[in-house]
Amino acid sequence: MQIGTENSTNGADLLKWLDQKSNWLPRYADGKHKYQEVFSVSEVAAILAVTPQTVKKWIICDIITENDWFKLPNGYIRITKKAVDRLRKVKK
């Protein structure tokens, strides 16, 4: 039985599992094996009251440093909570 077929409940269970952020692949902080909380580009934009394009420009201009973000295998960008907190302080 293939995952994701109509007769399979495993596909639906897998999608529910993937939708939970706590089940994403871990990102280690500074090699100390502590999990970092990460946000999507649109979540960061909502937190900081800017557009997603602005957040992407910050990544390109290195305002959000390369240690503070990463790309998932599907191309989506994730930004660390540390970077969001730093930007929140600067924006005030």
Q: Domains in the chain and their CATH numbers?
A: 25-91 (1.10.1660.10)
Q: Is the pLDDT of residue 86 over 80?
A: yes
Helix ranges (DSSP H) in the chain: 10-19, 41-48, 52-60, 81-91
Contacts of 79 (CB under 8 A, 6+ apart): 38, 39, 40, 41, 44, 55, 59, 64, 68, 69
User: pTM for the complete prediction?
Assistant: 0.62
Predicted local confidence at residue 50, as pLDDT: 94
The phi and psi torsions of 62 (rounded to 5 degrees) equal 65, 25
| Residue-wise pLDDT tens digits, 45-71 | 999 999 999 999 999 988 998 888 888
Task: Give the max Cα distance, the chain.
Answer: 54
